[in-house]
Structure 1
């Protein structure tokens, strides 16, 4: 007796076995080519829409920057030049398209006559206002409250 395994692989089919062909049709009829079974696809389900979407920080800060600039009746170019950032970048910040570094936020705030703390406080106020308009729920099921701010980098 040999300790060697036979030189054969066990094949496990991934598709169901084809159904046996029907009995031979008369020679005058054209031969039918068997068709492969098409996989059954599950219907596409769209993800459920969230009941409440938390505002993004960049959107809040951008709204504050734009509101302050417009309240002072200043142009994008004027504020961007004073902050020493490009006008397109400031525009993207205001529209919430870019995440700004703390240095850029501080420069934009200074150009508007604000401190960085003032800018963050105004963004916090905006977040609080939005939370009151659409009250959310915390994990414990109690209404969420924003009585403080914590920023982590």
Structure 2
């Protein structure tokens, strides 16, 4: 999940991140990834990129549309833009401790280039190029 490195260990950092997700998604907070948490994660899809507490998710909404969502766990209101070859997409600014579907883009194969997040205002940007490419073949169906 956003902001953690994959090491195969479900440790304190993973439990803390899961508890935050559960709280922000309106689930029972227990730090365990049980059936309700898995269902909610499938609602949003695959994490494409994360930076400074903001995670962008994508799933297949239909054969012609992908849906993107964002989770803001940054501590402040945030805005974001996800760049792909030939363009970009972004959603509405989102308040802290919130996760929500934000919009749709046409289904296709996309080469991702970067994610930029603005925390609090447009003078405070954070950028990462550690983002995932996506296509119909790599995204789960929206639950």
The interval holding the TM-score normalised by the smaller chain is under 0.3
- Which has the bigger relative contact order, CA under 8 A and spacing at least 6? 2
The alignment's TM-score, normalised by the length of structure 1, stands at: 0.24
The alignment's TM-score, normalised by the length of structure 2, stands at: 0.25
Could you say which structure has the higher helix fraction? 1
Select the structure of larger CA radius of gyration: 1
